[in-house]
Amino acid sequence: MVGAATFHAAMVEITIGSLTLSVICTIMCLQYAFKSPIDRFNISENKLLTMDRAALIGAILGTIMMPFSIMTGTLSVAGDPAGSILLYNKFVYSGLALGFWVSYVIGRVRLGPNLWKNKKLNILQVSTAILAFFMTITIASIGGKLVRNESLLDLIPFWFPINSTIVIHPLFSIVIILIGLCSIITVSKFGEITEYED
């Protein structure tokens, strides 16, 4: 029988591959609003449109696969996961990554491909994708620490706090969730944008 670790490896490869494609194509979409000063590096409108679609499809696929990666990762952890700081941090960063990717997808779907032509929205969308991808890489690094006691974060020259965590009061957690839900409802009701201004 196939174990949870094998399923987890497959889910992670699909998730990371899709999100890597998405973030690369998203960065290339900067050229919608910011043309390169060197003509040779300018990308045609048709290629940019293809990159926009690839970025969206990659983000959707990665966002759909991420919960499966989280579930199979939890099932594949050896021993008792309770009390593991790394596992706790993995859940926190998974929530952040999922939130960033969902906001990226919702923003792109609601505003359409014309958002790339607005400089402020373009920068916001690219920044969201980069932050989401950074959170995703952090999750993968924590997984490496759990399984092999090494991570991608070991390569960076500064300390990144994945071995310590802050536990907040459950009441404060509920307040944060309610603020998040209110924000989603507010954006859904009042976020109808039909025109863009540069």
Q: Residue ranges of the domains in the chain?
A: 4-190
pLDDT at 70: 80
pLDDT at 195 over 50: no
pLDDT in tens, 139-172: 888 777 777 777 766 777 766 666 666 666 667 7
For the cut 60, the answer to whether the pLDDT of residue 51 exceeds it is: yes
More confident residue, 166 or 7: 7
The per-residue pLDDT for 144 is 74
pTM attached to this predicted model: 0.77
Question: Is the pLDDT assigned to residue 21 strictly greater than 90?
Answer: yes
Position 45 confidence tier, pLDDT thresholds 50, 70, 90 = confident
Phi and psi, residue 129, nearest 5°: -65, -40
Name the pLDDT band for 25 (thresholds 50, 70, 90): very high
Average pLDDT over all residues of the chain: 78
Nearest to 137 by CA among 101, 169, 108, 102: 101
Question: Number of helices (H) and strands (E), helices first, in the chain?
Answer: 5, 0
Helix or strand run (H / E) with residue 160? none
* Rg (alpha carbons) of the chain, rounded to whole number: 19
> Residue 82 class from Cβ within 10 Å (0-12 exposed, 13-18 middle, 19+ buried)?
exposed
Under the banding of pLDDT at 50, 70 and 90, the label for residue 173 is low
**Confidence (pLDDT) at 40:** 74
Residue 105, phi then psi, degrees to nearest 5: -65, -45
Q: What is the mean pLDDT of residues 100-119?
A: 86
- DSSP assignments along 2-61, one per residue: --HHHHHHHHHHHHHHHHHHHHHHHHHGGGGTS--SSGGGPPPHHHHHHHHHHHHHHHHH
Our measurement of the distance from residue 153's CA atom to the centroid of its chain's CA atoms, rounded to an integer in Å, reads: 17
Start-to-end CA distance of the chain, whole Å, equals: 57
